């Protein structure tokens, strides 16, 4: 990853962390850009900010603990705001799940009153066309792949790195990366994917984002959706 991209991610993450208000509950997203937000939030907690975090993954929980952000859960709190990354953004709609955390991310991000999405310039597109990660129950892998093929998608079981075999999510499931080419109707595809038996969650986040914090090497652009 180039230095400019690292700087852009840091700017985006820190920008969203600055928008968090005192006395609130914050959904803590997953990925390298959200990690910058979590670290900045930790600095603000050290300086006296009173917030509680709800992590979206093992990784986010570990980072939040390192940053000494007090944690809570959806059982007892509702996030006022969530900060999360994305793999692609087009017209305010998102593809997420590059870190295979999209099931919990979707639960926390949609529960939040507001979702701030933090991205670098490589994530912005005119039309969503990246593969859509689909978390599936292990026993449903083949029928889900057949159903996705029926929707026009090519599936690829996500392989683990430094482990033989597939990625296993924080929830004990598998991930099919499903390539559809340009997605002209994200809402329709989201509904179709969600209705396949055995699908736990897919990475299309339609009408969930409220604000995009797009970092660049020079600054940050904040846009309402």
Instruction: Report the interface residues with ligand 5RP, using CB under 6 A.
Output: 29-34, 84-87, 96-102, 105
66 belongs to the catalytic site: no
CB of 50 to ligand 5RP, least distance (A): 26
Q: What are 135's two structure tokens?
A: 């978390």
CB of 70 to ligand 5RP, least distance (A): 22
Q: Which residue, 66 or 146, is less far from ligand 5RP as judged by CB? A: 66
Give the long-range contacts of residues 64-68, CB within 8 A, separation 24 or more.
64/28, 64/38, 66/42, 67/38, 67/39, 67/41, 67/42, 67/43, 68/42
Q: Which residue, 42 or 98, is less far from ligand 5RP as judged by CB? A: 98
The two beta strands, 114-119 and 174-179, are unpaired
Q: What stretch of H or E contains 66?
A: helix 58-66
Q: Which residue, 3 or 22, is less far from ligand 5RP as judged by CB? A: 3
CB of 75 to ligand 5RP, least distance (A): 22
CB of 184 to ligand 5RP, least distance (A): 22
- Evaluate whether 81 touches 213 at the Cβ level (below 8 Å): no
Q: Which residue, 102 or 213, is less far from ligand 5RP as judged by CB? A: 102
Instruction: Output the CA–CA distances (angstroms, integers) from residue 157 to 102, 170, 210, in the order listed.
Output: 16, 16, 31
Q: DSSP letter for 47, please.
A: T
Q: Which residues contact 186 (CB under 8 A, 6 or more apart)?
A: 93, 128, 204, 206
Which entry of 3, 18, 105, 221 is annotated as an active-site residue? 105
Q: Which residue, 85 or 198, is less far from ligand 5RP as judged by CB? A: 85
Dihedral in degrees, nearest 10, Cα atoms 101, 103, 108, 114: 90
Catalogue the active-site residues: 105
């Amino acid at each position: 990853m180039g230095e400019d991209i690292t700087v852009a991610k840091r700017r985006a993450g820190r920008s969203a962390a600055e928008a968090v208000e005192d006395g609130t509950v914050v959904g803590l997203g997953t990925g390298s850009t959200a990690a910058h937000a979590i670290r900045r939030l930790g600095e603000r907690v050290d300086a006296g900010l009173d917030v509680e975090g709800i992590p979206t993954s093992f990784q986010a929980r570990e980072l939040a603990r390192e940053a000494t952000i007090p944690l809570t859960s959806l059982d007892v709190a509702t996030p006022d705001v969530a900060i999360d990354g994305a793999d692609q953004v087009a017209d305010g709609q998102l593809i997420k799940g590059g870190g295979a955390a999209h099931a919990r991310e979707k639960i926390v991000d949609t529960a939040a009153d507001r979702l701030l999405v933090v991205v670098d310039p490589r994530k912005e597109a005119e039309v969503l066309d990246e593969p859509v990660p689909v978390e599936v129950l292990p026993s449903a892998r083949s029928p889900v792949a057949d159903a996705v093929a029926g929707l026009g998608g090519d599936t690829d079981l996500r392989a683990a790195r430094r482990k033989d075999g597939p990625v296993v999510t924080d929830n004990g499931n598998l991930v099919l990366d499903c390539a559809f080419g340009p997605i002209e109707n994200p809402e329709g595809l989201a509904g179709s994917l969600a209705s396949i038996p055995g699908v736990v969650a897919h990475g299309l986040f339609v009408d969930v984002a409220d604000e995009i914090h797009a970092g660049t090497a020079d600054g940050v652009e904040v846009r309402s959706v």
